[in-house]
Amino acid sequence: MALGSLFGARERRQLTYQSLWLSDQLSPSATLSGVSLGQRQALALEAVFAAVHRIADPICTLPVGTFVRRNGERRPVFPRPAWIDQPDPDPSVQRSDHFQQVLVSLLLDGNYYGRILRSGAEVLAISPLDPTRVEPKRNAQGFVEFHIDGGSQVLASRDVVHITELRKPGALKGTSRIHELRETFGIGRALDEYVARYFGQGSIGQRLSVEVPGDLTEEQADTLKARLMGKLSGLSKSHEPWVVSGGAKVSRLSDNAEQAQLNEAREFFTLVVARAFNIPPSRMGVNTPGTRAFASVEQDAIDFQTVTLAFYVAKIEEAYSRLLILPEQFIKFNMDALVRGDIQSRYAAYNSAIDAGWMLMSEARRREDLPFIEGTDVLRVPLENVSIGAAGLVEDEKKVTMAAQLVQAGFDPAAVLAALDLPAIPHNGLPSVQQQAVEPPSNPSDDQGAQE
């Protein structure tokens, strides 16, 4: 009896060999390289682990400030909400730990979910959720809800901070690079497993061939292979001598590690991971010629800060700023801490800014965590490095000196005063500039000659 007759009408299925074994629904972590890959397996890869640290570590340690912008001017907010300094409800979780969880979720899953804990309208804390257990869905009214553990708990959108790394048009959640590039990361895991087996199996890892004169039964061949594996397998037995008898001959089938180019393959995988996480290869320890986008490692570091790190910082700032009370308030990470140069470069930059008149000495001292000194909170001008209040006096002094030099050179005093925008000297009994120029003091020798 045909199987279809047991169910009545003959059913038609769109099921093929390819759809069965290559289906994401049936095996979401399977890869063509023969290994399974998920977020946990990907993080176990050395290159991925390093890439996550390269991005998460500098951001989670940045100082965070709260500001309000009014009339185009940014001013700090005091006192600021307590959750800025202690965002996690668990007091043992520091602020750096909290933002590190945010970034790990974004880098591996493409989504960060933080449950907002409130007291009335005031935000008390934000508890990070496991992104693999949260699924955003729209309810019957069209609003987004967040289902935890398959819907055992449902949170409204106002109670969750949701940050995505890369969101496709119309999608409710972000895209995970681990899922999208699972074949790429799967190659790295297969390579790690191959290298581990190569070195872990000792001499057997070289795939030896044993030739024995005469014919062996299948049982004899299995026994010989088992004895050979027991004698030579394992890293501790990789250098033990081999003893064969009865005309047996041992030969190597595969190449050694150098010929297999395992080091080059692992370095290439590191380069692939650097591209996947948008990290300069030099930050991942790859300095092969041709892999650097800029002329120096310093420029690569600047590009990494202004492009890669700034992207994640802006995402977090935008999401967390919405939790503040007033719409004009916002939080800001101080990324200047990432570009602090050596002490000589910093002091030279401060000196240039102070001399140009757009930075206060007190601001420079504050950046260096030095105490405030009275008189350092006034702007200075580059003319004579004086305060702006005294800049007019110095300018007038320069003009008077120039006017005297021009008049002594024979220029018309009235024209000189008008050109330099200087007031005319009143005739109050004192000799004017014109009189001093036209009537020079008499020569004593001339007066003596006249008397004679």
Q: Assess if residue 4 is contained within a domain.
A: no
- Pick from 144-158, 160-174, 414-428: least confident: 414-428
Which of 232, 258, 284 is the endpoint of a domain? 258
What's the pLDDT band for 13 if we cut at 50, 70, 90?
very low
Tell me: do 238 and 359 sit in the same domain: no
Task: Give start and end residues of each alpha helix (H) in 110-163.
Answer: none
- Pick from 138-152, 344-358, 411-425: least confident: 411-425
Tell me: do 88 and 147 sit in the same domain: yes
What's the pLDDT band for 212 if we cut at 50, 70, 90?
confident
313-331 mean pLDDT: 92
Q: Assess if residue 42 is contained within a domain.
A: yes
The range of the structural domain enclosing residue 213 comes to 182-258
What's the pLDDT band for 265 if we cut at 50, 70, 90?
confident
Query: Over 50: is that where the pLDDT of 19 sits?
Result: no
- Pick from 10-14, 73-77, 78-82: least confident: 10-14
113-119 mean pLDDT: 94
- pTM, two decimals, is 0.68
Tell me: do 50 and 146 sit in the same domain: yes
Residue 14 burial (10 A CB sphere; 0-12, 13-18, 19+): exposed
pLDDT tens profile 332-370: 998 876 766 567 777 888 888 888 777 888 888 887 777
- Please state, in angstroms and rounded to a whole number, the distance separating the CA atoms of residues 425 and 207: 106
3-class DSSP state of 256? coil
What's the pLDDT band for 238 if we cut at 50, 70, 90?
low
Tell me: do 276 and 137 sit in the same domain: yes
Tell me: do 94 and 131 sit in the same domain: yes
CA nearest to 323, candidates 97, 85, 160: 160
CB atoms within 10 A of CB 10: 9
- Please state, in angstroms and rounded to a whole number, the distance separating the CA atoms of residues 34 and 59: 36
Of 234 and 84, the one with more pLDDT: 84
139-152 mean pLDDT: 91
CA nearest to 45, candidates 232, 292, 331, 284: 284
Tell me: do 286 and 237 sit in the same domain: no
Tokens standing for 386? 């004086």
Q: What is the pLDDT of residue 192?
A: 86
Task: Give start and end residues of each alpha helix (H) in 115-256.
Answer: 177-180, 182-200, 218-232
Q: Report the interhelical angle of 182-200 vs 262-276 (nearest 10°).
A: 150
Q: What is the distance, to the nearest Å, from the Cα of residue 231 to the centroid of all Cα atoms in its chain?
A: 50
Q: Assess if residue 216 is contained within a domain.
A: yes
Query: Over 80: is that where the pLDDT of 175 sits?
Result: yes
In degrees, to the nearest 5, what angle opens at C-alpha 272 toward C-alphas 268 and 276?
170
Tell me: do 80 and 63 sit in the same domain: yes
pLDDT tens profile 85-111: 999 999 899 999 999 999 999 999 999
CA nearest to 306, candidates 263, 264, 338, 267: 338
Q: What is the distance, to the nearest Å, from the Cα of residue 186 to the centroid of all Cα atoms in its chain?
A: 25
Q: What is the pLDDT of residue 385?
A: 58
- Please state, in angstroms and rounded to a whole number, the distance separating the CA atoms of residues 102 and 269: 26
Q: What is the distance, to the nearest Å, from the Cα of residue 446 to the centroid of all Cα atoms in its chain?
A: 85
Tokens standing for 110? 């493409």
Q: Assess if residue 293 is contained within a domain.
A: yes
Q: What is the pLDDT of residue 431?
A: 47
Q: Assess if residue 8 is contained within a domain.
A: no
Tell me: do 49 and 125 sit in the same domain: yes
Tell me: do 354 and 283 sit in the same domain: no
Q: Assess if residue 124 is contained within a domain.
A: yes
Give the total number of structural domains in the chain: 4
300 near 294, Cβ under 8 Å?
Answer: yes
Query: Over 70: is that where the pLDDT of 313 sits?
Result: yes
Of 244 and 287, the one with more pLDDT: 287
Which of 236, 258, 280 is the endpoint of a domain? 258
Tell me: do 225 and 274 sit in the same domain: no
Q: What is the residue-averaged pLDDT of the chain? A: 78
Query: Which long-range contacts (C-beta less than 8 Å, at least 24 apart) are formed by 79-84?
Result: 81/122, 81/123, 81/324, 81/325, 82/124, 83/123, 83/124, 83/125, 83/126, 83/323, 84/331
What's the pLDDT band for 393 if we cut at 50, 70, 90?
low
284 near 291, Cβ under 8 Å?
Answer: no
Q: Assess if residue 15 is contained within a domain.
A: no
Q: Assess if residue 12 is contained within a domain.
A: no
Query: Over 80: is that where the pLDDT of 114 sits?
Result: yes
Tell me: do 274 and 346 sit in the same domain: no
Could you please report the per-residue DSSP string of 336-393?
Answer: GGGS---HHHHHHHHHHHHHHTSS-HHHHHHHTTPPP-TT-SS-EETTTTEEGGGHHH
Could you please report the per-residue DSSP string of 276-327?
Answer: HTT--GGGGT---TT--SSSSHHHHHHHIIIIIIHHHHHHHHHHHHTTSSST
What's the pLDDT band for 435 if we cut at 50, 70, 90?
very low
Query: Over 90: is that where the pLDDT of 155 sits?
Result: yes
Percent of the chain at pLDDT exceeding 90: 34
Single-letter amino acid, residue 90: D
On the CB side of 29, CA atoms within 13 Å amount to: 9
Tell me: do 420 and 289 sit in the same domain: no
- Please state, in angstroms and rounded to a whole number, the distance separating the CA atoms of residues 341 and 359: 18
Query: Over 80: is that where the pLDDT of 397 sits?
Result: no
Which of 241, 258, 275 is the endpoint of a domain? 258
> What H or E segment, with its residue span, contains residue 355?
helix 343-356
